[in-house]
Amino acid sequence: MKAKRWMWIMWPAFLMAAVLEMLVFAFVDPSEMHWQGQSLSLSREAIYTGAFFIFWMATMLSSALTTLLAMSPFEVNRCPVPEQDRPRECAKNATCDRA
């Protein structure tokens, strides 16, 4: 289930990062970019790569937040430990169900 959830986060984020990359660099020339008054001393490919990973991380954060907010209260509050291995505090909790 965790692998599936990670794919729900990473794949849409990857696609949106690719779209953002195309949109941004259709209007921005990496060789004309400046940081604090200095031109960047990186190649175009390095700027494209760095920007893609920044876009991917930002959109993964967005997808992860969406996935977290879509979880049911049962998924969030359930006890992940099998019943025989649960601590005493978890066994008393009526909402604590099998994993």
pLDDT in tens, the chain (99 residues): 678 888 889 999 999 999 999 999 999 888 888 888 888 888 888 989 999 999 999 999 999 998 888 888 877 777 777 777 777 766 545 554 444
Quick one: pLDDT at residue 13? 94
C-alpha span between 58 and 44 (Å, rounded): 21
Phi, psi of 8 (to 5 degrees): -60, -30
Quick one: pLDDT at residue 19? 96
Quick one: pLDDT at residue 91? 55
Quick one: pLDDT at residue 90? 66
